[in-house]
Structure formats: structure tokens, C-alpha cells
């Protein structure tokens, strides 16, 4: 239970304060010489104690497909294979668009016009992987719209929203230019009938251009997904959905065409025409959404068979492990369950008739591979959650407060490269367990990516079965012993 304990006794503090006050007032007979005698209640005592608890903790691998990916600043697409552990990830981006601008603002009675080509002008970032491999992508027309007020999750089946065949294909490889310079994906026709229908709809239907809501309802969006012939061990990219006050949307669908004398050969070009459609998640395009569908394949890993998928809070976990994993692209996580033995050991620290306050509860989680290569590939920080699907953090990891008040939490959670471990302070969470007689506080916590970086390429293997792992070093104060 308590492996070691040593005390620093503060019981003399009250007596010293009271004695000092007595000496002060006894030198002056003009005042009441009992002044201050009740400032510190008689017999009051504080003891600072240290203890280590390591029994009654069980670890599991967990995975959820219920994390919201709508409303993010990026939509992800591509395919990659983890270079150390063999996990494969495929990302598909579902994106809506709305009219932004056009160069043909005057209608000429003596001219006809037709579209020529389509391109995606994207502001992208690299999520990670092997960018040297060139990927091919299929571009589908969405036939079912994403609902404005709904939340969509990483486990969404994008195939329910799209045509059975792609309209276009495109290729991309290398590192993207960055968010201030567009990366161009020229679209090549995959299905002539579907491609012509889509382009002619955009070209001729100018009546909806002034109404975003009606436009998005008709043109439900596009889905960009790796083709069946694309390499699985390439890279995943992030499509920038942000809207800049200075520069406007960071990504566009662009339709090119030309006009020519009516009744003549379309090759007699008079003017080049461009019509651009914004791909964005900004409020001014109120009905627009983008969603990332994330698919994981752990069949080639050593741990795939141990993963608990979408386990409800009261549902028992299976396959306890001594090696944990955290996969950055909304992948596998490590969950600890605190059993009755752990809670009993924690409550045994509290003396009869007294109370304790946990000042610090340090948990160190070692990395399984103690090498800088694995340190570089691991997340620089991990978050701790009572519900990873909802990103509900433990009390110690109040990431919202940290982000909005520009402060660093005592929680920590950072990778200590000197000692090759993650170091966390979970004192508030353990205090909640200590006081929770009705079992309302979740006895499961999940280690995953930090709340504001939970879509990033990083993966780490954790040594949970070692002597140092899953051991809480606790500093606490006994009150009223």
C-alpha cells in the first residue's frame, strides 16, 4: 500500500504564534493580555507526508471513432504507414464550397461560353509521413450535404455521401508550399459524364451565386480521398480551412473556361474566364462544413489484437497490457483503470478523524525505446482525459484555462528527454478519487494527444510493466491529526 512515508511536523507552529503574541501584549498593561490567544485553535497540527502507491492500476489500449473533426481549421487527406510500428492510416477530406468571385461580370449577347478545366488551389500543411512518395487522389461529388448545425466525427463513412464513381483524379507529392502560397492540384477527368455534369452545373447556374445557403444545398461538396492505386506508405496533408481578414479564404476550387463568338468554333477564344469557389469554415459562409474521415489499420502491428474499440464508460475493458501506445492521428490511446485496491490505498493515507490535502501526485511513464530517434517521433506532450472522445480532461489538465489565460499548468505532461519519460502531476484528480464516496468520478483516465494538437503525426510506445511505471509519488498534508 504505502511503500514509504516520512513526516515533517508542523505541530509547533500554533504554539509559537500564540507564545509570541502573549509576550508582546504582556509588556503593555493597558490592553487585554488575552489578545490573539484564539488565532490558532488549540491542538491544531499540520503534517506533510510522502507516500508511493503503485498497486491496483491496470492498463489497456483503447480506440474511439467518435472524436469531432468538423469545425477544425484543417481537413486531412492522404495515406501513411507508421515507420516504427506498422500502423496504417488513411484520411479523406469532405469539404463544402461557396461562390467567391468571377472574372466574367458582363453578359454579352453575341458570345457563348464553356468551361475548360478545374483545379484545387489549396493552402496546405504537412501532417507527416513520407512526402517523397507521390500520391493519387480521387475527387468525388458529394450528393448528400453536411448539415450546418450537426457535429461529424472521425469515424464518418464518407462513402454514404458521394457518387459511386469519382469525377476527377489528381496527384500530389512533396512538401506543400505553406499556408500563404497555394498548392495546385490539377483535376483530370475520371468519369466524363460526371465531370461534364458537374462543370456545366457550376458554369451555367449563376442564379445561386448570391445566396450561400442555396448554393451549398445544391452543390453538397467534394470528397478528396486516396485512390486504390495510391501508395499506403506516403503522407497525410492538412487542407487549410481558415479565413484571413487580410487575405480571405486560404483554399479554393477554381473553374476555368472561355467565351467565343456565338455560333462559331469554340476554339476562337475571345476571353479567358475564371470562377473561384471558397473552401472555408468561416462564419461568413454560415452553411459550410468540412470533415475528416480517419481510418486506421493496426493489423500489421504487434498490438492490434489488444485494442478496445469504442468502449462505453461502464463497459469492462479487455486485454490488459504492459506496453501502451499513443497514435497522434486520432488513433490508439492508453487507458488506465484504478481498481478498488488503489483507491483503498489512497484513502488509507487519511488518518482517523483527520483529513488530507494532496499537494502533488507525480506519475512518470517511461518510453519503451530510450533513444533520441523515438524521442523525436513521440508527442512532445500528452494530455489526460476522463473521456477522450469528448476531450474531457482531468481537472489537472485544464487546457482551456491554459490556452485562454496564457499560463502553463502544474500538470506538465511533457516528455522529459533526460529521463526518457512523460512526467505528469495528477494531484487534483487523485484528490477527487479520495473524496468520491459515491463513485461519480471516473476511475478511468486516457492518455492521448494534447487537446490542441490531437491531429498530428506522432506515435510513442510506453513501457507500463517496468518497476518505475504507473507509480504515484504523492506529497500530501494531514490536517487535524
Q: How many CB atoms lie within 10 A of CB 263?
A: 7
- Sign, CA dihedral 165-171-176-181, equals negative
Residue-wise pLDDT for 457-468, tens only, equals: 899 999 998 877
CB-based contacts of 159, cutoff 8 Å, min separation 6: none
d(CA 38, CA 41): 6
d(CA 80, CA 246): 34
Q: Identify the bridge partners of residue 232 per DSSP, sorted by sequence position.
A: none
Q: Count CA atoms within 13 Å of residue 97 on its CB side.
A: 27
Q: Count CA atoms within 13 Å of residue 372 on its CB side.
A: 1
Specify the pLDDT at position 7. Answer: 39
What does the block give as the cell for 454?
Answer: 490531437
The tens-digit pLDDT sequence of the chain (481 residues) is: 344 333 333 333 333 333 333 333 344 444 444 444 444 455 556 788 999 999 999 999 999 999 999 988 899 999 999 989 999 999 999 999 988 888 887 677 778 888 999 999 999 988 889 999 999 999 999 999 888 788 999 999 999 999 999 999 999 999 998 767 899 999 999 999 999 999 999 988 776 666 777 888 889 999 999 999 999 999 999 999 988 777 778 899 999 998 888 877 777 877 889 999 999 875 554 567 899 999 999 999 999 999 999 999 889 999 999 999 999 999 999 999 999 999 999 999 999 888 999 999 999 999 999 999 999 999 999 999 999 999 999 999 999 999 999 889 999 999 999 999 999 999 999 999 999 999 999 999 999 999 988 888 899 999 998 877 889 999 999 987 5
Q: How many CB atoms lie within 10 A of CB 282?
A: 17
User: What does pTM read for this prediction?
Assistant: 0.85
Amino acid at each position: 500500500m504505502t511503500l514509504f512515508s516520512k513526516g515533517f511536523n508542523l505541530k509547533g507552529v500554533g504554539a509559537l504564534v500564540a507564545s509570541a503574541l502573549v509576550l508582546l501584549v504582556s509588556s503593555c498593561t493597558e490592553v487585554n493580555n488575552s489578545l490573539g490567544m484564539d488565532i490558532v485553535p488549540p491542538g491544531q497540527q499540520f503534517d506533510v507526508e510522502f507516500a508511493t502507491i503503485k498497486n491496483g492500476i491496470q492498463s489497456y489500449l483503447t480506440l474511439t471513432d467518435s472524436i469531432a473533426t468538423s469545425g477544425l481549421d484543417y481537413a486531412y487527406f492522404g495515406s501513411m504507414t507508421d515507420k516504427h510500428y506498422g500502423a496504417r492510416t488513411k484520411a479523406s477530406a469532405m469539404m463544402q464550397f461557396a461562390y467567391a468571385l468571377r472574372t466574367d461580370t458582363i453578359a454579352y449577347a453575341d458570345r457563348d461560353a464553356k468551361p475548360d478545366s478545374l483545379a484545387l488551389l489549396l493552402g496546405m500543411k504537412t501532417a507527416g509521413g513520407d512526402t517523397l512518395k507521390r500520391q493519387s487522389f480521387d475527387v468525388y461529388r458529394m450528393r448528400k450535404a453536411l448539415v450546418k448545425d450537426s457535429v461529424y466525427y472521425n469515424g464518418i463513412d464518407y462513402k454514404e455521401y458521394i457518387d459511386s464513381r469519382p469525377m476527377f483524379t489528381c496527384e500530389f507529392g512533396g512538401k506543400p508550399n505553406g499556408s500563404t502560397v497555394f498548392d495546385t492540384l490539377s483535376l483530370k477527368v475520371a468519369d466524363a459524364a460526371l465531370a461534364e455534369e458537374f462543370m456545366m452545373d457550376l458554369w451555367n447556374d449563376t442564379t445561386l451565386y448570391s445566396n450561400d445557403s442555396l448554393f451549398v444545398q445544391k452543390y453538397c461538396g467534394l470528397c478528396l480521398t486516396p485512390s486504390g492505386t495510391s501508395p499506403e506508405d506516403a503522407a497525410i496533408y492538412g487542407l487549410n480551412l481558415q479565413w484571413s481578414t487580410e487575405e480571405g479564404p486560404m483554399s479554393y476550387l477554381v473553374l476555368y473556361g472561355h467565351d467565343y463568338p456565338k455560333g462559331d468554333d469554340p476554339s476562337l477564344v475571345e476571353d479567358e474566364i475564371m470562377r473561384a469557389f471558397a473552401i472555408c469554415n468561416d462564419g461568413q459562409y454560415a452553411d459550410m462544413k468540412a470533415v475528416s474521415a480517419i481510418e486506421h489499420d493496426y493489423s500489421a502491428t504487434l498490438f492490434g489484437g489488444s485494442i478496445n474499440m469504442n468502449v462505453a464508460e461502464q463497459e469492462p475493458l479487455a486485454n490488459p497490457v504492459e506496453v501502451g501506445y499513443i497514435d497522434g492521428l486520432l488513433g490508439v490511446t492508453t487507458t488506465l483503470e484504478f481498481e478498488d485496491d488503489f483507491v483503498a490505498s489512497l484513502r488509507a493515507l487519511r488518518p482517523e478523524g483527520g483529513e488530507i490535502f494532496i499537494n502533488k501526485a507525480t506519475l512518470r511513464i517511461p518510453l519503451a525505446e530510450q533513444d533520441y530517434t523515438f524521442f523525436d517521433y513521440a508527442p512532445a506532450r500528452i494530455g489526460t482525459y476522463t473521456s477522450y472522445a469528448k476531450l474531457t480532461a482531468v481537472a489537472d489538465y485544464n487546457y482551456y484555462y491554459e490556452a485562454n489565460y496564457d499560463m502553463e499548468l502544474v500538470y506538465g505532461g511533457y516528455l522529459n528527454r533526460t529521463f526518457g519519460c512523460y512526467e505528469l502531476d495528477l494531484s487534483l484528480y487523485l484528490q477527487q478519487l479520495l473524496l468520491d464516496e459515491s463513485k461519480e468520478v471516473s476511475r478511468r483516465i486516457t492518455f492521448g494527444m494534447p487537446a490542441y494538437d490531437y491531429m498530428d503525426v506522432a506515435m510513442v510506445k510506453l513501457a507500463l510493466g517496468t518497476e518505475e511505471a504507473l507509480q504515484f509519488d504523492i506529497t500530501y498534508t494531514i490536517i487535524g491529526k
